[in-house]
Chain A
Amino acid sequence: MKYEYQKEPELYTPIMMRIISKRDLTSDVRFFQAVPKEEYKHLNLDYKPGQFMMLSVYGSGEAPFSISSSPTRKGIFEFAIRKTGKLTNKIFELKDGDQLGLRGPFGNGFPIEKMLGKDIIIVAGGLGAAPLRSLLLYILDNRELFGRLIYLYGARNIDDMLYKPDFTEMLQSDQLELHLTVDKGNEGYENEIEEGLVTHLFKYVSDIDPKNTIACVCGPPVMYKSVVKEILKYKLEKDKILLNLERRMKCGTGKCGHCIIDYRYTCIDGPVFTYWDVIHMRELI
């Protein structure tokens, strides 16, 4: 046994950030921008799209949140956070200038190297748009490194759609093929937003080259099976379908056990898994 310790920053000790701005995305999802405090500026906090961080609020605990910003826009961390419980209630009370603890980045993130040059289909459901925004921005910022970009996004209703103004504006863009839908009630947005489940947007996805396409999916647990089924229709290879999953987590480092699925830890081997993993590991989706 060699006694080698984990180097700085210590694994479980959050560093401090400050909130620099926030705005409401929906009635229960808020967008936060935060920067590390001066004394932590020297640390390497580089991350990849699809990775997450453990955020702590003073005295109220800690939980995992996907990074919603893109590493191409350095220095600022962005999160889209839904108010659902103890910690997130407290996060919602934070004001500009308030402090937030941060550990990470954790998780494997999207395998960007393997995605270079490929056509990318992104399928987001609900809050899944948070981690996928990081990927989206990354691709847009490095547009020439990727092929086609198809983005399908479904929310429960108009009010629940994250980044709605950004998306409706992007509809005009020639950088990507964007399709939006809500489960029900698209009044007032009939031209921009469809009605129906996100799977229903696949009707716009055609001329896919299965060899050269990678699909990235993130959404609520119930969404994966049906979306994967649609994607499989394009004969994509199993390891080219990437799923960003969620599990309970307390540490982010494969030690607390909660996120284990079979022999793999969502926080280390995930949260991005391939459809191949799904076939080989039970309980994944």
Chain B
Amino acid sequence: MKKKPTLGIYGFTGCAGCQLAVLDCEDILVDLFNYVDIKVFYEAMSNNEDVANVDIALVEGSINTNKQLNELKEIREKAGVLVAFGSCANFGGIQAMALGDGKWEQRFTRVYGDAKFTVAIPREAQPIHKFVKVDAFIPGCPPSTPQMLRALTQLLHGNQPTYTNSPVCLECKFRENECLLNDGKLCLGPLTMGGCTAPCPSHNTPCIGCWGIIDEANHTSELKLLKEKGFKTEDIIQRFRIFGGSKIVEKVQKLLEVE
């Protein structure tokens, strides 16, 4: 019999939703455990190896402490293919929404006072690619089941996962929704990587961008459009930032320059 591919699922700072999304694949969960040799998956099993030598490592969460950083480096060393799994790992997630504003210490003090850390030195949230080479990424907050299974299957069979380089609007139109932008709502669909099947606009609620910013996002034009619709510049930029993480930092700079 062919050797089973080995898999490690690691979680850093985040909501653990990406790991949970794996457990949410109820239909194939048993198959998954049978087909793959899962070495690490803290959320689901107790016989874990600390950091294991694996063919594929799925890394969830952003890096928020130096302890995590060291562990990430070890995971990198021991992984064949390292995958940034979900929005936090990919661009920092919501905890990175204020990245680059220089006020992290201030926020930290607000929540934790002046106490000192000793076991782990906290740091501002960063996506994993800031520290190690990432071979593939699966976007999503959390990744949708079909998208995740597709990517995982591709990885397990030695393929690069196909990544959706089209905005949410594509799937929004597949689902025959009226465009919320035209309805005066602050929808981030055009700026956001697709693959989620547009659940939010399909429920009349605007996309908030949780899948992360798509390569070609035209923030300048969307900002202008939303201003015409009566939104305030600060509000729009704030919204861009909530799920923009590390990807929006430079763009915001440019947007503000134009303003």
Report the separation of the CA atoms of residues A86 and B162 in the bound assembly, to the nearest whole angstrom: 9
A156 within 8 A of B: no
The 8 A CB mask of A84-114 against B (1 = contact, 0 = none) is 0110011001000000000000000000000
Interface size bracket, A side: under 10
The reply to whether the CB of A165 lies closer than 8 angstroms to some CB of chain B is no
Assess the A59–B157 pair: CB atoms within 8 A. yes
Residues on B close to A: CB < 8 A? 157-160, 162
B163 to chain A minimum Cβ distance, whole angstroms, is 11
Chain B CB within 8 A of A60 CB: yes
Contact B157 A86 (CB under 8 A): no
- When C-beta atoms are compared, the residue in chain A nearest to B153 turns out to be A59
11 contacts between A and B (CB under 8 A): A59-B157, A59-B159, A60-B159, A85-B160, A86-B159, A86-B160, A86-B162, A89-B160, A90-B158, A90-B159, A93-B158
Question: What residues make up the interface of A, taking CB atoms closer than 8 Å to B?
Answer: 59-60, 85-86, 89-90, 93
Least CB distance, B246 to chain A, in whole angstroms: 26
For the complex formed, measure the closest distance between the CB of B245 and the CB atoms of chain A, giving whole angstroms. Answer: 27
A59 to B162 Cα, complex, angstroms: 12
- Closest residue of B by beta carbon distance from A60: B159
> Min CB distance, B157 to chain A, in Å?
6
Distance (whole angstroms) from the CB of B162 to the closest CB of chain A = 7
CB distance from B80 to the nearest CB of A (A): 15
- Report the minimum CB–CB distance from B40 to chain A (whole Å): 26
- Chain A CB within 10 A, most for which of B157, B158, B159, B162: B159
State in angstroms the CA–CA spacing of A164 and B36 once bound together.
44
With the chains together, A41 CA to B6 CA distance in Å? 41
Residues of B within 8 A of A90 (CB): 158-159
Tell me the minimal C-beta distance from B51 to chain A in angstroms: 28
Please name 9 further chain A to chain B contacts, defined as beta carbons within 8 Å, in addition to the given A59-B159, A86-B162, sorted by A numbering.
Answer: A59-B157, A60-B159, A85-B160, A86-B159, A86-B160, A89-B160, A90-B158, A90-B159, A93-B158
Contacts of A93 in B (CB 8 A): 158
Least distance between B151 CB and chain A CB atoms (Å): 13
Q: How far, in Å, is B154 (CB) from chain A's closest CB?
A: 8
- Return chain B residues, CB-CB under 8 Å to A86: 159-160, 162
9 shortest interchain CB distances as A-B pairs: A86-B160, A60-B159, A59-B157, A86-B159, A90-B159, A59-B159, A86-B162, A90-B158, A93-B158
Question: Which residues on A sit within 8 Å (CB–CB) of B158?
Answer: 90, 93
- Which residue of chain B is the closest to A57 with respect to CB atoms? B159
Among A60, A89, A93, max chain B CB count under 10 A is at: A60
* Chain A residues with CB under 8 A of B159: 59-60, 86, 90
Query: Complex: how many Å from CA A209 to CA B213?
Result: 58
Bound CA–CA A86/B163 (angstroms): 12
C-alpha spacing A172/B187, complex, angstroms: 68
Compute how far the CA of A59 lies from the CA of B158 in the bound complex, rounded to whole angstroms: 10
Please measure, in the bound complex, the distance between the C-alpha atom of A87 and the C-alpha atom of B152, giving whole angstroms: 17
CB distance from B5 to the nearest CB of A (A): 14
- A127 → B minimal CB distance (Å): 21
Q: Complex: how many Å from CA A59 to CA B150?
A: 11
Cα distance A86–B159 in the bound complex, in angstroms: 6
